[in-house]
Structure 1
């Protein structure tokens, strides 16, 4: 994809990342550690360093379908032989109908000349390239900090609309110890396996509004783990020194899952524990029970805080977290955009199109030819019985 920037009047080319770009990308992400998205940039810089060492195996894996095919879906914008933009995307679900924008870097962090910072046009070209190149995606999803005004303006300029407001919470180690003192009342707490994928999918479906459910577009396969994915997860936990504990609460009368938790416990005292929590809207009394269960699971690990997420459509969760004294550490916006790939994303001159031009193709090409069939009115006899007329070819 090649276009001309209106401010600089030079050609901007958007293309997939290549091996020769990794050194410059690693340097650029390392020099921008003071920005508002520094945590994401640190993760991106670490991932780029890993790709530099394993570029050729990952390049081979990206050829045929496999779980690591889209591990490093990165595209760059190049202008006058220098990088001026970066975007990283990844599929959000197994069917790849929804994709997520993980990182976008434009402007000052990648500007080659500080006196002429790049405009929003570079970011728009990166986004539109992904919209057109990734034909599987019907919906795009992003999550951005509410204080990052430049990135918010970029997404809104390209048609993204607010889907939900997200809040990240942190529970202090002292509060976790207090929660772990009580015995949770969870008689039907069961371990998670692939056989429970349909129950977890049903729980995930009823725990969110219809619009969010439509954008996420999750299926039963999204809650299953194959052999290769299990091996990669085990390797990732071994490298990051983390352990995972998960379970779900089963309701025997309804034969449904009403609560689910997953907590990543860090053996490294420098990183906090992270948790994922899903509760059926009709069983909000499970919040203290599941949090107590997670707090008891963290007792044998270094004393660290616990971080978890809540959305604006989960008021009971936010009320309980405020009640136990949890702290809000970050506010983000989840935004989405639908894409119809059969329409080019350009402005058509439909206003000047006349109605006669639209209906021109509906006019008949020639006059219709009359047929040889003739219709005769029905005949009635004296008794009122209808008789069909005799055929024309019969002898009188």
Structure 2
């Protein structure tokens, strides 16, 4: 466990008796999520004991200092969740440090806390081949801590917040509006696969059933009525601690003309009264950023999507097998002996 500070502290999985310690203002928005993680953790362990199915509940680890008078001091929290059924891809969903404890006498530094929480979460993620994390582009210490754990920047995004005002636009001609469900999930999966870069596709390692596990039925898509393929879609990703829903909006490459009333209709369908929608849009996507600005969305700074991948190429075949294949490939070009005539004996 981590050390190097005057006071003794450690990182451990969240337990029920930790909940009363979450009185720091930084932790209050996460209380519902942490209580849900504890409640789901019990059936999750039962499922894991009788089947090979991966965990459903988010994993939570806390940094705790017991080496002081009175009750223990909770220094930080990290919340991670799997992004697919196979458990190969995970996300650092939240990493929050106690505001009242940073810089206290004998307490660990921000860099030490962040690094220890990340290391423990990654160590406990057995079977995970890749990780993603998102942080503010201005949070230099957090970016440095992620880099130290092997994360590399994948994308720079603008963070937008939008709230529905007025009636939803009408559905345009040649399009069908369909909800996300078991029958339509493969169409939305194909759309998202086409809309994200190959490196990010490999890190996420998603299948159509993963979209349902992740978003449930909280999603909508526009389907080309002739080609029967999804050309734009939106789905829920997470509840924001500050209120509202974090969503993902995907548009088929080459169909950017849909950025207007058709995609606004998707946002209206997913929105809830009094709850804003939060979207991340790549900075280089000027068309989409301009559309959101014209739609009345407000910008909330820039974020960096970081990725850490352990995917490796499959091992090369043994030398003997490789030599055999090479010999078989070159066989047609080998010189052949001339066939000798068969001697004919006396009759």
Shared topology, TM-score over 0.5? yes
**Residue 312 of structure 1: CA displacement?**
3.0
CA displacement, residues 361-390 of structure 1 (integer Å, 9 cap, x when unaligned): xxxxxxxxxxxxxxxxxxxxxxxx9xxxxx
Q: How does 1:300-319 map to 2 (within 5 A)?
A: 302=273, 306-312=277-283, 314-319=285-290
Instruction: Verify the 8 A CA contact 2:188 2:221 in the aligned structure 1.
Output: no
Asked if 1:13 is matched to 2:10, the reply is yes
Instruction: Verify the 8 A CA contact 2:174 2:225 in the aligned structure 1.
Output: no
What SS does structure 2 have at the residue aligned with 1:159? coil
1:27: which partner in 2? 23
2:33: which partner in 1? 47
1:76: which partner in 2? 62
What SS does structure 1 have at the residue aligned with 2:126? coil
CA displacement, residues 302-356 of structure 1 (integer Å, 9 cap, x when unaligned): 5776543322353321232234453212321111112479xxxxxxxxxxxxxxx
> Per the alignment, do residues 290 and 340 of structure 1 end up closer, same or farther by CA in structure 2, a change over 3 Å counting?
closer
Instruction: Verify the 8 A CA contact 2:83 2:210 in the aligned structure 1.
Output: no
Instruction: Verify the 8 A CA contact 2:235 2:270 in the aligned structure 1.
Output: no
Structure 1 runs not aligned, ≥5 long: 33-40, 234-243, 342-384, 386-396
Q: How does 1:242-253 map to 2 (within 5 A)?
A: 246-250=220-224, 252-253=226-227
Instruction: Verify the 8 A CA contact 2:221 2:230 in the aligned structure 1.
Output: no
> Per the alignment, do residues 287 and 340 of structure 1 end up closer, same or farther by CA in structure 2, a change over 3 Å counting?
closer
**Residue 105 of structure 1: CA displacement?**
3.3
Instruction: Verify the 8 A CA contact 1:142 1:335 in the aligned structure 2.
Output: yes
Instruction: Verify the 8 A CA contact 1:182 1:292 in the aligned structure 2.
Output: no
Query: Structure 2: how far apart are the matches of 1:271 and 1:80?
Result: 33
Which of 178, 187, 206 aligns to 2:175? It is 187
Which of 84, 98, 108 aligns to 2:89? It is 98
2:299: which partner in 1? 328
Asked if 1:61 is matched to 2:44, the reply is yes
Q: How does 1:1-396 map to 2 (within 5 A)?
A: 2-5=1-4, 7-8=5-6, 12-24=9-21, 26-28=22-24, 31-32=25-26, 41-49=27-35, 54=39, 58-65=41-48, 69-81=55-67, 82=72, 83-106=74-97, 108-110=99-101, 114-119=104-109, 120-171=111-162, 176-177=165-166, 180=168, 184-224=172-212, 246-250=220-224, 252-253=226-227, 255-262=228-235, 276-294=248-266, 297=269, 302=273, 306-312=277-283, 314-339=285-310
> Per the alignment, do residues 273 and 72 of structure 1 end up closer, same or farther by CA in structure 2, a change over 3 Å counting?
closer
Instruction: Verify the 8 A CA contact 2:170 2:261 in the aligned structure 1.
Output: no
Q: Count residues in correspondence.
A: 301
Instruction: Verify the 8 A CA contact 2:130 2:203 in the aligned structure 1.
Output: yes
Question: Over aligned residue pairs, what C-alpha RMSD do you find?
Answer: 3.7
Structure 2 runs not aligned, ≥5 long: 313-339, 341-347
Report which of the two structures shows the higher radius of gyration computed on alpha carbons. 1
> Per the alignment, do residues 142 and 306 of structure 1 end up closer, same or farther by CA in structure 2, a change over 3 Å counting?
closer
**Residue 284 of structure 1: CA displacement?**
0.7
> Per the alignment, do residues 17 and 274 of structure 1 end up closer, same or farther by CA in structure 2, a change over 3 Å counting?
closer
What SS does structure 2 have at the residue aligned with 1:115? coil
Query: Structure 2: how far apart are the matches of 1:15 and 1:296?
Result: 42
**Residue 110 of structure 1: CA displacement?**
4.1
Query: Structure 1: how far apart are the matches of 2:64 and 2:213?
Result: 38
What SS does structure 1 have at the residue aligned with 2:20? helix
